[in-house]
């Protein structure tokens, strides 16, 4: 049975959706925190998180490796100090964090062994200054750890009240299927969400991952929804005199024809390219909430425009012409 991610509930001006087949209600935009620390100061990070709650965005995503200083969990620490201010911040927030990446040079401080799951969860709880994690996510698949071990460790954490739900990130479709079937044999809920690299330029997940998520009832949380900025109006910004990083220039030259067509279409629609890209994702199967990573308050406030854009069939068809995608597997590569 395929589950719908589009059951909608309205609270004030924000519409909330069920994350996959779960009863958990989240905002259709997820606040990504990867910039908190390395690029965004703690003071500005606090202000952005406060503003997100004011706007009705209750879904925040982070990871134990964010901050990019081995073992320090800088971003989780910033969120923890924000939670510690009180005022209902923790209670209003659905916090999702991740584990897998190395947190030290020692062999058991990485990946998805039962030992690391136990240690990493306790460390994240301490940094986040909370006694439970709403969604605990495997940042990548661990091919060296059987899913039986993975699920047993997650079951223990749930019994202890340290986690509520489990999610995956960067899993292939067959990884999701194997994980869910293993969980079902253990009478465990399994994953409720999958974070995938998904945007107009990167649509590989449409082959197997999205169909698997739809069938197993996982809500998809796309990361890099603007393709590193390429879908955020890059040509407009360059025309206004803003410089682009070397890697961005290389990618732009590779995709210039598509980006030119895309920004022209956005002009015809009278919408900002960034918000069109996000609105398109919200039209795709199984997608619950793209991850936005605002560096400024203006970017955060502007992202709410996404929820007001209703792309019609003509606009969706034109976007598919510019950025060809994939039909449901196996039709894309067989009959």
pLDDT of residue 6: 43
pLDDT digit string, tens, across residues 69-87: 999 999 999 999 999 999 9
Tens-level pLDDT at each residue, the chain (335 residues): 344 444 444 446 799 999 999 999 999 999 999 999 999 999 999 999 999 999 999 999 999 999 999 999 999 999 999 999 999 999 999 999 999 999 999 999 999 999 999 999 999 999 999 999 999 999 999 999 999 999 999 999 999 999 999 999 999 999 999 999 999 999 999 999 999 999 999 999 999 999 999 999 999 999 999 999 999 999 988 888 777 777 788 889 999 999 999 999 999 999 999 999 999 999 999 999 999 999 889 999 999 999 999 999 999 999 999 999 998 778 888 88
The whole-angstrom separation of Cα 132 and Cα 90 is 10
Q: Is 216 a catalytic residue?
A: no
Give residue 12's pLDDT. Answer: 61
Which member of 16, 66, 198, 262 is catalytic?
A: 66
| Distance separating alpha carbons of residues 257 and 254, to the nearest angstrom | 8
Residue 2's pLDDT is 44
Preceding peptide of 224 cis, ω within 30°:
no
Per residue, the 3-state secondary structure of 238-277, as one string, reads: HHCCCCCCHHHHHHHHHHHHHHHHHHHHHHHHCCCHHHHH
Q: Which residues contact 320 (CB under 8 A, 6 or more apart)?
A: none
What pLDDT, on a 0 to 100 scale, did the predictor assign at position 5? 41
At residue 40, φ and ψ (nearest 5 deg) are: -115, 130
d(CA 122, CA 320): 44
Q: Residue 28: exposed, middle, or buried by beta-carbon count in 10 A (0-12, 13-18, 19+)?
A: buried
pTM, whole model, 2 decimals?
A: 0.94
Return the SS3 of 45: helix
- What are the domain boundaries of the chain? 8-229+274-312
Phi/psi at 92 (nearest 5 deg)? -85, -15
Is-contact 124 64, C-beta < 8 A? yes
**Angle 323-287-23 (CA atoms, 0-180°, nearest 5)?**
175
pLDDT of residue 108: 97
Q: Are 97 and 129 in contact (CB under 8 A)?
A: no
Smallest CA-to-CA distance from 294 within 21, 8, 35 is with: 35
At residue 111, φ and ψ (nearest 5 deg) are 65, -160
Q: What sign has the CA pseudo-torsion 161, 6, 207, 178?
A: positive
- Torsion of the alpha carbons at 234, 238, 244 and 250, rounded to the nearest 10: 70
How far is Cα of residue 74 from the mean position of the Cα atoms in its chain? Answer: 19
What DSSP state is assigned to residue 4? P
Instruction: Give me the pLDDT at residue 242, please.
Output: 77
Cβ contact 62:98 at 8 Å = yes
The CATH superfamily assigned to 8-229+274-312 is NADP-dependent oxidoreductase domain (3.20.20.100)
Q: How far apart are CA 26 and CA 155, in angstroms?
A: 23
SS3 223: strand
**Cα four-point dihedral sign 328, 167, 140, 74:** positive
70 three-class SS:
coil
- Looking at residue 4, its pLDDT comes to 41
Percent of the chain exceeding pLDDT 70 equals: 96
């Amino acid at each position: 049975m395929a589950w719908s991610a589009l059951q909608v509930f309205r609270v004030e001006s924000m519409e909330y959706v069920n994350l996959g087949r779960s009863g958990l209600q989240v905002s259709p935009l997820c606040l990504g925190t990867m910039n908190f620390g390395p690029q965004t100061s703690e003071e500005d990070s606090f202000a952005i998180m406060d503003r997100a709650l004011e706007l009705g965005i209750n879904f925040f995503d982070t990871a134990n490796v964010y901050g990019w200083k081995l073992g320090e969990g800088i971003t989780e620490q910033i969120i923890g100090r924000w939670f510690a201010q009180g005022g209902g911040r923790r209670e209003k927030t659905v916090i999702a964090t991740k584990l897998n990446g190395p947190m030290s040079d020692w062999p058991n401080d990485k990946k998805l062994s039962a030992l690391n799951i136990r240690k990493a969860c306790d460390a994240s709880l301490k940094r986040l200054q909370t006694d439970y994690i709403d969604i605990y996510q495997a940042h990548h698949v661990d091919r060296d750890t059987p899913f039986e071990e993975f699920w047993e460790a997650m079951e223990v954490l749930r019994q202890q009240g340290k986690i509520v739900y489990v999610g995956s990130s960067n899993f292939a479709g067959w990884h999701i299927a194997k994980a869910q079937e293993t969980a079902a044999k253990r009478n465990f809920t399994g994953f409720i969400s999958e974070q995938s690299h998904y945007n107009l330029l990167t649509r590989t997940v449409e082959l197997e991952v999205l169909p698997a998520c739809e069938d197993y009832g996982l809500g998809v949380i796309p990361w890099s929804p603007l393709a590193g900025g390429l879908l955020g109006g890059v040509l407009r910004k360059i025309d206004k005199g803003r410089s682009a990083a070397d890697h961005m220039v290389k990618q732009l030259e590779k995709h210039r024809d598509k980006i030119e067509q895309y920004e022209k279409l956005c002009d015809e629609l009278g919408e900002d390219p960034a918000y069109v890209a996000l609105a398109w994702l919200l039209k795709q199967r199984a997608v619950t909430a793209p991850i936005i990573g605002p560096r400024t308050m203006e970017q955060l406030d502007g992202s709410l425009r996404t929820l007001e854009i209703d792309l019609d069939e003509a606009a969706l068809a034109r976007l598919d012409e510019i950025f060809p995608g994939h039909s449901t597997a196996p039709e894309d590569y067989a009959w």
